[in-house]
Structure 1
């Protein structure tokens, strides 16, 4: 099973959340259900707007660290390169 680095948004140009997981569908569902306390629940960040797959945890962790260090506009550009309308990609995930 691959690892994923992902970005959630509260809305277009809204608050962003960057994460890494082994089970993307489950993790996004947790954000949407607001079952866990924390940043995404507090700020209503539950729209999956970008993700990418990695074969190892180390690759995913390194990519997440790199993106966390980016300026906000670079993250917005990353989202808009593949998802210009900031659509919620959660429904596209294989269940």
Structure 2
């Protein structure tokens, strides 16, 4: 059986007022897609310029990743903010850490 990687991630806009939570099997590629869609109104993240990576978690099972995505999406904004701040109090964009 082949081991896969899946990622739950949170991106935000430059003013940190909007959060987008997603799941992907290629985090670097997905972040590039968010950048490419910037300002495009046909996607939520594009419409709100959400392309700054604030948080991510890795999973080996897609079902676990999807369950975690749904869990975080169900949280109030304060709890999502606390999750981000626990690892990055200054809300630093983590995208450069991903692309190496």
2:89 aligned residue: 84
- After TM superposition, the structure 1 = structure 2 runs for residues 3-42 of structure 1, keeping only pairs within 5 Å, are 3-11=6-14, 13-34=16-37, 37-42=42-47
TM-score, scaled to structure 2: 0.88
State the Cα RMSD in Å.
Answer: 1.6
Higher relative contact order (CA 8 A, sep 6+): 1
Q: Which runs of no fewer than 5 residues in structure 1 stay unpaired? A: none
Q: How much does 1:11 deviate? A: 2.9
Aligned to 2:58: 53
Count of residues in Structure 1 that have an aligned counterpart in Structure 2 = 95
TM-score by length of 1: 0.92
